[in-house]
């Protein structure tokens, strides 16, 4: 019997713990409130792009074009104006279209530094008239920074849509910055839609698992705090380093999935300990010691696996990896501090709002019986089970050999978006290649181009024009050859330039720097930037340049296609190191955790099978269009190049969580009995409900994001949902138990240790 002094001491400790819980929650809520300021600004903080490799050809071209070209600015925009009622040449066309062009080029918010196009003059006007004779272009150079342009162009497009509504006039701003501004807007709206889909489903699943309203509130409130803290931190980090606009969706998606799962482990263990007769303080201590430690190990595993992605020299991948690390660490922190603090205050009231499900007991018993029967079937027929599971995953993985990746082009934007419509108009009325040409920047080593032999450049352009699928090649020579056919570079001299019409000077300013030291050649291909035809043309352009002996000229190749090829190469070069680091981390973690050599090897093998099957399904859906219409997915013929490597890191680390959870219980049974077969069956039966529930929550979250309108997030959400589903079913329920059964006592072999002596099997 407890003495009076002991009782008072226990009571004092309980009060202290309650005060500690209150302080923990107060700090969490204050920090969350402060983080909300960052959350509200995050749309302006996150940047577009992130696919440029430092020092690469595309980076050199981008930097070279950013200054010195009078016809270009920091930001470049193509204005496409269409009159659906009149054609070029009609007086009404001029009267209606000219004010629209002038309205845009004089808008102070756009900070226009140059413009050249249909209004520039008769000498070049025809170059800017579309095939339908109703669409005209103006190329605008702006002094806006890229970070400003995404917002300004979006606002200006909205104004133009409102001003021209019902007039028969359409004005579209075509620019990578407008494109990324639309991506930002779509990301925000897609985020809202995903949350509207996911949150009710998450609550329903949690109610089924907890059977308590109070427990659901603990999980959802903890998750909300983790996400807000994560987004606030990401916004703060974004003030100092470039972070991709896709980070917002990735952080929210992973936060919902991971934190709900982590709190599920802690809260469910707390409920079970209360049911077993422990006091609230004892139950919380057990939950912290067991599930809390599992959560910490899981979070650190994911963080280390994601850190391996910093080996890839791409801002898009590094920013996504950083975002995931931030949200996983906050999910971990909240799950072992904030959630337990709520449980401390609730005590037995964690079961408040008990949800009664008619017939649930009978269904649970039937489910447990089915799981137990399935477990016994697997361990009693391990060879057949392993062949069945591995063969199924292997067949799903076959299409993965056709995996094609690339950077996003305009097609990832919804066809109803103004920026996408602008791309489509330019592609239809002029050429697809004009929306994203291959850019070749030629630089004079000494002096300027007036001192060089024009024949080298002329011959080069003629070689480009002979490349298959090339529509046309644009360069200063288009103008200079007309002015001085015998020696185009002679036209760069002051007397000739002074005599040129103003519109020709403007045209030259787009392709020739004002000091005559840099020249841009644009190769337009008859297909989208990510197409096989354009990539083949790019390869031919590079081959031509490499086999041309220049005197006094250096070159670099850029543009959207070149950027995609270079970023693909960067990912491919870094991938072996990324994979090696992840495998070493996971091997060491599992080896130390279970004091086994076989278990890490089995885990790595089945994880590779699972990821391969996920890749195969992604190829079927997003490249070949299998079920894409039914699911509402857009088929581009390729997967965004950051998605597979991000999936690899996430699925490997998340799968390790389930592996640890399952094998921990199997090991517990094995150490108790020494019977490997019985341990596998009992461990599988005991953990299946929670693993299935945790996986279901993640599938719900990731699946909801798969139905957003942003293609890269669709692909990432689909891949994660499918990967988790495969891992929690075929892998954990069939392949892993069968493999452990076949390895027998060798499963637990570790240098310097002696496995327990087997007991008679109970399976």
Give the tens place of pLDDT for each residue, 329-370.
999 999 999 999 999 999 899 898 887 766 555 555 555 566
Query: Residue 760: pLDDT above 60?
Result: no
Q: State in Å, rounded, how far the first CA of the chain is from the last one.
A: 43
Element (H, E) at 115: strand 112-117
CATH, domain range 75-143+145-174: 3.30.70.1440
pTM of the model: 0.85
For the chain, how are helix, strand and coil distributed in percent, rounded to 5?
70, 10, 20
Q: Using a pLDDT cut of 90, give the percent of the chain over it.
A: 33
What is the overall mean pLDDT for the chain?
85
Helix (H, G, I), strand (E, B) or coil at 640: strand
Residue 601 CB burial class (10 angstroms; 0-12, 13-18, ≥19): middle
Distances in Å between the Cα of 35 and the Cα atoms of 31, 195, 262, 757 are 6, 20, 22, 55
pLDDT of residue 169: 94
CB atoms within 10 A of CB 689: 15
In this structure, what token pair is assigned to residue 439?
């850019």
Three-state helix/strand/coil letters over 180-236: HHHHHHHHHHHHHHHHHHHHHHHHHHHHHHHCEHHHHHHHHHHHHHHHHHHHHHHHH
Please give the Cα distance from 295 to 600 (Å, whole number).
19
CA-to-CA distance for 110 and 113, rounded, in angstroms? Answer: 9
The predicted pLDDT at position 762 comes to: 42
Q: Distances from the Cα of 198 to the Cαs of 55, 263, 703, in angstroms?
A: 42, 17, 8
The highest-level CATH class for domain 16-45+212-351 is mainly alpha
Higher-confidence position of 223 and 456: 223
User: For residues 74 and 569, is the Cβ–Cβ distance under 8 A?
Assistant: no
- Domain boundaries, given as residue ranges, for the chain: 16-45+212-351, 75-143+145-174, 374-407+563-763, 437-558
Please report the pLDDT score of residue 10 as a whole number.
47
Q: Give residues with Cβ within 8 angstroms of 681, minimum separation 6.
A: 372, 375, 376, 378, 379, 737, 762, 763
Residue 1 has pLDDT above 50, yes or no: no
| Domain 75-143+145-174 matches domain 374-407+563-763 at the CATH topology level | no
Spatial CB neighbours of 222, under 8 Å, sequence gap ≥ 6? 259, 263, 334, 335, 338, 339, 342
Q: Residue 122: helix, strand or coil by DSSP?
A: coil
| CATH ID of 437-558, from 3.30.70.1320, 1.10.1740.10, 1.20.144.10, 3.40.190.10 | 3.30.70.1320
pLDDT in tens, 623-671: 999 988 888 888 888 998 889 999 998 898 888 777 877 888 888 788 7
CATH node for 374-407+563-763: 1.20.1640.10
DSSP annotation of 51 reads -
What is the DSSP pairing of strand 639-640 with strand 405-406? parallel
What is the distance between the alpha carbons of residues 235 and 226, in angstroms, rounded to a whole number? 14
Distance of alpha carbon 23 from alpha carbon 339, whole angstroms: 13
3-state SS string over 236-257?
Answer: HHCCCCCCECHHHHHHHHHHHH
Q: Which two tokens stand for residue 171?
A: 């004005």
């Amino acid at each position: 019997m407890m003495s009076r002094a002991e009782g008072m001491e226990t009571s004092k400790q309980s009060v202290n713990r309650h005060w500690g819980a209150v302080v923990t929650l107060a700090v969490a809520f204050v920090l969350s409130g402060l983080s909300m300021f960052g959350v509200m600004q995050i749309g302006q903080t996150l940047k577009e792009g992130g696919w440029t490799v430092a020092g690469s050809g595309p980076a050199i071209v981008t930097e070279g074009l950013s200054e010195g070209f009078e016809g270009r600015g920091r930001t470049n925009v193509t204005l496409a104006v269409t009159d659906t009622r009149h054609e070029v040449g009609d007086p009404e066309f001029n009267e209606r279209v000219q004010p629209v062009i002038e309205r845009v080029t004089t808008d102070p918010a756009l900070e226009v530094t140059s413009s050249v196009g249909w209004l520039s003059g008769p000498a070049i006007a025809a170059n800017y008239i579309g095939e339908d004779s109703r669409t005209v272009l103006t190329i605008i150079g702006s002094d806006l920074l890229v970070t400003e342009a995404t917002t300004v162009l979006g606002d200006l497009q909205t104004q133009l849509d409102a001003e021209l509504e019902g007039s028969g006039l359409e004005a579209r701003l075509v620019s990578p910055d407008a494109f990324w501004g639309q991506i930002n807007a779509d990301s925000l709206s897609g985020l809202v839609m995903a949350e509207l889909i996911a949150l009710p489903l998450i609550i329903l699943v949690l109610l089924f698992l907890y059977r308590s309203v109070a427990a659901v509130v603990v999980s959802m409130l903890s998750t909300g705090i983790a996400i807000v803290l994560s987004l606030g931190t990401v916004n703060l980090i974004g003030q100092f380093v470039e972070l991709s606009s896709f980070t917002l969706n990735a952080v929210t998606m992973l936060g919902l999935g991971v934190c709900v799962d982590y709190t599920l482990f802690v809260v469910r263990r707390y409920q079970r300990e209360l049911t077993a007769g422990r006091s609230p303080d004892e139950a919380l201590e057990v939950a912290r010691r067991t599930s809390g430690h599992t959560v910490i190990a899981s979070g650190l595993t994911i963080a280390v696996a994601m850190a391996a992605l910093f080996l890839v020299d791409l801002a898009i991948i590094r920013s996504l990896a950083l975002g995931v690390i931030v949200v996983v660490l906050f999910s971990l922190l909240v799950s072992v501090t904030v959630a337990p603090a709520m449980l401390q205050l609730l005590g037995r009231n964690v079961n408040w709002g008990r949800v009664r499900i008619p017939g649930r007991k009978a269904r649970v018993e039937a489910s447990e019986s089915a799981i137990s029967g399935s477990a016994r079937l697997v361990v009693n027929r391990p060879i057949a089970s392993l062949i069945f599971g591995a063969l199924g995953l292997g067949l799903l993985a076959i299409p993965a050999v056709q995996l094609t990746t690339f950077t996003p082009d305009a097609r990832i934007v919804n066809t109803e978006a103004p920026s996408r419509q602008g791309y489509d108009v330019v592609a239809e009325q002029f050429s697809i290649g004009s929306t994203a040409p291959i850019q070749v920047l030629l630089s004079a080593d000494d002096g300027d181009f007036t001192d060089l032999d024009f024949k080298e450049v002329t011959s080069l352009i003629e070689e480009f024009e002979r490349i298959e699928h090339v529509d046309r090649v644009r360069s200063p020579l288009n103008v200079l050859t007309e002015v001085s056919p015998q020696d185009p570079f002679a036209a760069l001299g002051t007397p000739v330039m002074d005599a040129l019409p103003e519109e020709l000077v403007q045209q030259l300013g787009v392709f020739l720097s004002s000091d005559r030291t840099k020249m841009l050649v644009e190769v337009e291909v008859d297909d989208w930037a990510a197409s096989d035809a354009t990539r083949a043309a790019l390869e031919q352009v590079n081959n031509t340049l490499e086999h041309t002996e220049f005197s006094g000229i250096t070159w670099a190749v850029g543009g959207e296609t070149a950027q995609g090829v270079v970023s693909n190469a960067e990912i491919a070069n870094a991938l072996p190191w990324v994979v090696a680091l992840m495998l070493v981390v996971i091997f060491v973690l599992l080896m130390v955790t279970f004091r086994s050599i076989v278990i890490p090897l089995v885990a790595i093998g089945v994880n590779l099978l699972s990821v391969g099957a996920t890749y195969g399904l992604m190829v079927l859906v997003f490249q070949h269009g299998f079920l894409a219409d039914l699911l509402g997915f857009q088929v581009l013929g390729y997967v965004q190049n950051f998605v597979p490597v991000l999936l690899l890191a996430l699925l490997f680390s998340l799968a390790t969580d389930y592996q640890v959870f399952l094998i921990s219980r199997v090991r517990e049974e094995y150490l108790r009995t020494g019977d490997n077969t019985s341990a596998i069956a009992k461990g599988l039966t005991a953990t299946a409900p929670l693993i299935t529930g945790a996986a279901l929550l993640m599938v719900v979250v990731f699946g909801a994001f798969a139905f957003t309108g942003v293609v890269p997030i669709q692909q990432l959400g689909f891949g994660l949902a499918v990967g988790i589903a495969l891992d929690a079913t075929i892998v954990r329920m069939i392949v892993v138990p069968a493999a452990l059964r076949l390895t027998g006592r060798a499963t637990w072999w570790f240098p310097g240790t002696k496995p327990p002596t087997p007991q008679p099997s109970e399976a």
